[in-house]
Structure 1
Amino acid sequence: MRTLMLLLGLLPVLCTANDAAWQAWRDGRAVLIMRHALAPGTGDPAGFVLTDCKTQRNLNAAGRQQAQKWGEVLRQQTSADIALYSSQWCRCLDTARLMNIASVQPLPALNSFFAGRGDRQQQTDALLAQFAVAKLPEPTVLVSHQVNFTALTGYFPASGEAAILALPLTAPATVLARIAP
């Protein structure tokens, strides 16, 4: 009972922090980064080709629904234009497109560097440089991979998990809120 009362007492604080994080995102003082929606497996199959989705690990039906739900969540948070950046991997591009919130801008710095496919330091530095501002002109969403997300935040996100990160972007990032898939 005592634990329940303590948790209920913390609820307004947790909601306020989440509201403040969403407000920072809406105001352009933070970015929302998300790991692509559910695409079962790890890494990519042998024979991976960036421009051929048949050679990649792709979203399943649950992942496609998860991406659509994210679009609904983001539209509930703002009616403003949204800047939407994505890794060039098909599962990220599909996640971004299925959100149906903005035209998708491929951003190579968001590409996976799992299993030596990219350069962790170079890509992370490129993201830090691009988002080394205190304010963006519109709410911004980044769709990427677990390794990129972890390089910025220090934690391992679930598929479809997001975080709101304070600007200017740093490594490690200042996480204003974690948002479950």
Structure 2
Amino acid sequence: MLSVLNSRIAMLPLCLAGLLAISAGQAFGDDEQVWAALKRGGMVVLLRHTHVDMREGIAHLAPGNCAEEVNLSARGVEQAKRIGEAFRAHGIAVGEVWTSAYCRCIDTGKLAFGRATPVQYLMPPGVISEPQAKLNQERVLQDILDHRSSSNLVMITHDLNISNIVLEPSIAMGDFFVLQPNGTDFDVIGKIRMGDR
């Protein structure tokens, strides 16, 4: 299993170069195919937290004191609510909702799905050591491969975390990818763009 994870990590630079040449519209199926896959269940959703106003201190984590962090903007609050409404409108069953420990991720989960469980391994790589970031990525990959449930697992995290898994260089705030574990690897079913709407 570790060899699968290591080979996926080793292929990152090559895959990123290839994906830069392919538009998202060509690379992934349309929205209805993605929602249909979620309706079947058993998927993993990798969601970038919804909109924040970028400013200095974006990487500041203040456990238990969200006022010291960069938090969701009014637009981000509405995005998160809209994501939850879209899941409910499509009749999507959501199981666990795991998030980065940053308040913007926790709040996205609570606003969209009514709950959020922070986990340390969804922290952005820029705020932890490189060895820890690699271990965290391996943990995320392992959790994706291990997901076996009729409901969907939601992981709410940061752009680099998602880029390193799906090998797409740019993830807008509020966008999410849907992955289907297949035992030894996973398939990227598609991406839903919520960030620019």
TM over 0.5: yes
What amino acid maps onto 1:56 in structure 2? Answer: E
2:161 maps to 148
Q: 1:14 to 1:81 in 2, by over 3 A?
A: closer
What amino acid maps onto 2:118 in structure 1? Answer: P
- For 1:46 and 1:25, locate their aligned partners in 2 and report how far apart those are by CA, in whole Å: 32
1:116 maps to 128
Structure 2 residue 80 is matched with structure 1 residue 67: yes
Structure 2 residue 39 is matched with structure 1 residue 26: yes
Structure 2 residue 32 is matched with structure 1 residue 50: no
The alignment's C-alpha RMSD in Å is 2.8
- For 1:69 and 1:130, locate their aligned partners in 2 and report how far apart those are by CA, in whole Å: 27
8 Å Cα contact 1:39-1:60 kept in structure 2: yes
Which residue of the other structure, out of 99, 107, 111, is the alignment partner of 2:119? Answer: 107
8 Å Cα contact 2:99-2:155 kept in structure 1: yes
2:111 maps to 98
Give % identity.
22
What amino acid maps onto 2:37 in structure 1? Answer: A
Structure 1 position 147, deviation (Å): 1.3
Secondary structure of the corresponding residue to residue 177 of structure 1: strand
Q: 1:116 to 1:83 in 2, by over 3 A?
A: closer
Structure 2 residue 175 is matched with structure 1 residue 161: yes
- For 1:36 and 1:170, locate their aligned partners in 2 and report how far apart those are by CA, in whole Å: 28
1:137 maps to 150
**Structure 2: which 5+ residue stretches go unaligned?**
1-24
Aligned residue pair count: 166
**Structure 1: which 5+ residue stretches go unaligned?**
1-9
- For 2:182 and 2:55, locate their aligned partners in 1 and report how far apart those are by CA, in whole Å: 31
CA offsets 1:35-68 (integer angstroms, 9 cap, x no match): 0000121673586423321221110100000100
Structure 1 position 102, deviation (Å): 4.1
Secondary structure of the corresponding residue to residue 163 of structure 1: strand
1:4 maps to none
8 Å Cα contact 1:132-1:167 kept in structure 2: yes
Larger Rg: 1
What amino acid maps onto 1:140 in structure 2? Answer: L
Q: 1:45 to 1:135 in 2, by over 3 A?
A: closer
